[in-house]
Amino acid sequence: MSPHGGVAALLLLADGRFPAGGHVHSGGAEAALLDGRLTGPDSLAAYAVGRLHTAGLVDAALTAAVVVRLGEDCDPRGCGPGRALRLLDAEAEARLAMAPLRESSRRLGRQLIRAAAGCWPGPVVEAAAAVDPDGPHQAVALGAVAHAAGIGPLDAARLSLHHTLTTPLQAALRLGGLDPYAVAALAASLAPVVHEVAAEAAEAAGGPIAELPCLVGPLTEIAAVEHAARTDRLFAT
Amino acid sequence: MPPHDPGHPHTHDHDHDPPPLPGRWQGLTQPGGPARRSLRVGIGGPVGSGKTELVSCLCRAFADELSLAVVTNDIFTREDAAILERKGVLPTERIMAVQTGCCPHTAIRDDISENLDTVEQLEARFDPDLVLVESGGDNLTATFSYALVDVQIFVIDVSGGDKVPRKGGPGITRSDLLVVNKIDLAELVAADLGVMARDAEAGRGGRPTAFVSLRADQRAEPVADWIRGLLADRAAALTASASHGA
């Protein structure tokens, strides 16, 4: 058991009440509702599965890779956590083709760092904060915070995917007036997908950084750009 | 109305070390850095009570006096921005809107990330004297976190009935300034301003209440004066803090 927190820290970071800014994001669900791709529980399930296998896998693998590299970085050359974090931040940047998504990823990253700085203070969180003037990408921030909180790569990947899953579900619940019990049941039913994708992400995280998964849902990304230009939206993304 | 609330954490007891300015972010980005200059004022209240109108009145009142920035919470449409632009009270780039994911109270109280991030962007860009954070319209329990704002104003109006101050709720009882708007309508809706003043005083532990008609008083003078008092106190506290070598 990690002295920093381990499972207890994992639960804290998975809790929607942790003040890291996630509640104003819909993971593309608002855009999908507005353009008619999301119409009810069935399409919501399909949307969530699609997200887990694309953006979810990319984020989870990056997050897990950060935890792996930070674990290795106690090296005798003493280059510290900064170099690994910058390299992985560049990989995250390269995987975010659309400007609004890059921007919101950094915004969420710095918001997570702000919330985590008081929880797990230390050089890793400080190095993550210093990766970019606008803050680290969200996946890099989550990996750094997970490492600082004593969470391993596989659990970090699960944590990332938990947010990939619950963000659009919660937003669709609010926007679409869905049955909250049905939405909770949907989330529970997708646990095997979360575990399967997390295992894939954790495995990739041990390999070369440049070969981390790189998958996009083109329609979701185009919709995100259109969504960012709307003035009547209730969610940031 | 007293110039400001003597019971608020802005106490000016300088017998020992000056107290830290409330609400100041002491996180990773400014470790031990200088206290920020701007005063952050939250403006909350139910839908239609006059929050946006109060913001435009304050922009007008301070136009030649202060550097100002505004954060609005959804649903801030182009229409709201156009109101401020058309009235010529504030350049558009000094107004930023944030989304709250259908939870206006969460965004100002439980998870202030999005608002705080936006306030800091405006402060970095314009170094304003005053930042107004306008909440989305919400119910009587909505209050701001003091990690986001230094003081908070809660706006109600008489057309909701003269029982509203008696009903209480954190917005009414704990706000630093309660603004009762649309007093010009009191007679039409049979609202007794005396009752509202009495109940507000009883429920607010001596914190001030301002009765205004923003339609008639387009500079919201009682509110502007209250903010001027806070700005003067803040300037004095910052000077004292500097002279203590803090």
DSSP class of residue A152? -
Residues of B in contact with A20 (CB under 8 A): 111, 113
Is residue A196 in some structural domain?
yes
> Per-residue pLDDT for A21 more than 70?
yes
Beta strand B130-134 with B68-73: parallel, antiparallel or unpaired?
parallel
Q: How far is B217 from chain A (nearest CA, A)?
A: 30
**Above 70 in pLDDT, residue A180?**
yes
Give A3: exposed, middle or buried? Use CB within 10 Å, 0-12, 13-18, 19+: exposed
Q: Which residues of B touch A125 (CB under 8 A)?
A: 28
A236 part of a folded domain: no
Question: Is there a contact between A28 and A168 (Cβ–Cβ < 8 Å)?
Answer: yes
A38's CB contacts (< 8 A; 6+ apart) are: A29, A32, A44, A47, A172, A176
With 0-12 / 13-18 / 19 or more C-beta atoms within 10 angstroms meaning exposed / middle / buried, residue A160 is: buried
Q: What is the mean pLDDT of each run of 10 residues along chain B (246 residues)?
A: 44 40 36 66 94 92 93 72 70 89 91 95 95 90 93 95 91 95 96 96 93 96 97 88 70
Confidence at residue A190, expressed as pLDDT on a 0 to 100 scale = 98
pLDDT digits (tens, 9 = 90+) for B226-237: 999 999 998 888
> Residue A148 belongs to a domain with what CATH number?
1.10.4190.10
Q: Once rounded to an integer, what is the mean pLDDT over residues A90-101?
A: 96
Question: A82-94 vs A57-72: helix axis angle to the nearest 10?
Answer: 160
pLDDT confidence of residue A172? 96
**Cα gap A95→A216, rounded to integer Å:** 8
pLDDT mean over A29-40: 94
Which residues, at least 6 apart from B190, have a Cβ–Cβ distance to it below 8 Å? none
A67 domain residue, yes or no: yes
Domain of residue A59 covers 7-228
- Pick from A17, A105, A234 the residue to mutate for testing the B interface (most B CBs within 10 Å): A234
**What mean pLDDT comes out for the span A10-39?**
96
Coil, helix or strand at residue B134: strand
Sheet holding B130-134, edge to edge: B95-98, B68-73, B130-134, B39-44, B151-157, B177-181, B209-211
The per-residue pLDDT of chain A, averaged, comes to 94
Amino acid at site A194: V
Quick one: pLDDT at residue B138?
A: 83
Query: Which secondary structure element, helix H or strand E, spans residue B204, and what is its range?
Result: none
CA distances from B211 to A10, B4, B197, B232 (A): 49, 15, 9, 23
Enter the tokens of residue A76. 């005798």
What's the pLDDT tens digit per position in A131-165?
Answer: 999 999 999 999 999 999 999 999 999 999 999 99
Percent helix, strand and coil across chain B, each to the nearest 5: 35, 15, 50
- Backbone φ and ψ for B110, nearest 5 degrees, come out as -85, -40
- Is residue A234 assigned to a domain? no
* pLDDT at res. B3: 45
ipTM: 0.89
Name the residue among B163, B166, B193, B199 with its Cα closest to residue B181.
Answer: B193
Based on the structure, what is the number of domains in chain A?
A: 1
Which stretch of A22-26, A123-127, A182-186, B35-39 has the lowest confidence by average pLDDT? B35-39
For the residues of A165-219, what is the DSSP string, one character each?
A: HHHHHHHHHHHHT--HHHHHHHHHHTHHHHHHHHHHHHHHHTS-GGGS-----HH
Residue-wise pLDDT tens digits, A188-211: 999 999 999 999 999 999 999 999
Judge: A233–B99 Cβ closer than 8 Å, yes or no.
Answer: yes
A107 touches chain B (CB under 8 A): yes
Q: Is A25 near chain B, with CB under 8 Å?
A: yes
Across A23-32, A220-229, B5-14, B179-188, least confident range: B5-14
Cβ distance of A23 and B101 shorter than 8 Å = yes
Query: What is the CATH code of the structural domain delimited by B39-241?
Result: 3.40.50.300
Residue A112 confidence (pLDDT): 98
Q: Which residue of A has its CA nearest to B118?
A: A107
The alpha carbon of residue A208 and the mean position of all alpha carbons in its chain are separated, in whole angstroms, by 20
Domain boundaries, chain B: 39-241
